[in-house]
Amino acid sequence: MLEIRDVETIDKKSLNHVGRKYKKKQILLYDTKRRIDDFVSKLKYRKDGKYEDIPHFIVSKMGDIYQVLHMDYSSVTFGDHELDRKQIKIAVENLGWLQKNTITGYYSNWIGDPHRTEPFIRSWRDKFYWDRYTDQQTESIVNLCEYICEEKQIDKRVVSSHGYIEKIDKFKGIVCKSNFSNIYTDINPSFNFKKFLDDEI
């Protein structure tokens, strides 16, 4: 059985979200771009508590699943009401693209968080080094997506690419943020979309 935890440090009533129920048609995957504790703090305190991009779920590097927002509700990611309200959003703990310090040889993300393992290397969207997704994390994402699809009658199909897809807003199923525009770098190229196909979601 899927274990979904609560984020105990968040007062859900204080989150800036749309509290009306909407029919969901997409599951959106995107990166936290920082460690999970820092991401939760951002949800609570950024813009003096008025931060709008609230995920429904967060999946940690360890594969733990946390629910932040009720699945019926919505938040603002793209600033497009028609698009945002039909998505269930999963924030995946990942530092995103990395930069290498040429003197020390160490890697860090865009805000200076250190990266302590070997990065995934691929040239994509003007970046070269990437934080990897863990196996347990990917498995939890697949299981969570399957659960959401069943609960909310979302089509069990996935865009198995991190590239830009024209008219992706019309797609019914699982997408990632980088499908919507070339300016986004999440989900990054290290993500194994074959896991969705292997598990026949």
**Domain positions in the chain:** 4-96+134-198
pLDDT at residue 52, rounded to an integer:
87
Q: To which residue do tokens 């194994």 refer?
A: 192
pLDDT digits (tens, 9 = 90+) for 31-59: 999 999 999 988 877 766 678 899 999 99
Tokens read off for 117:
């393992």
Report the distance separating Cα 201 and Cα 198, nearest Å: 8
**Residue 140, SS3?**
helix
Residues 1-27, mean pLDDT to the nearest whole number: 79
Strands 114-115 and 107-108: antiparallel
Closest CA to 195 of 66, 87, 69, 59: 59
CATH number for the domain whose boundaries are 4-96+134-198: 3.40.80.10
Report the distance separating Cα 158 and Cα 22, nearest Å: 21
Show the DSSP H helices in the chain as ranges. 36-45, 81-84, 135-152, 194-198
Residues 141-160, mean pLDDT to the nearest whole number: 95
* Residue 47 φ/ψ, nearest 5 degrees: 55, 40
Q: How confident is the model at residue 94 (pLDDT cuts 50, 70, 90)?
A: very high
> In sequence order, what are the residues at sequence separation of 6 or more whose Cβ sits closer than 8 angstroms to the Cβ of residue 49?
14, 16
**Residue 182, SS3?**
coil
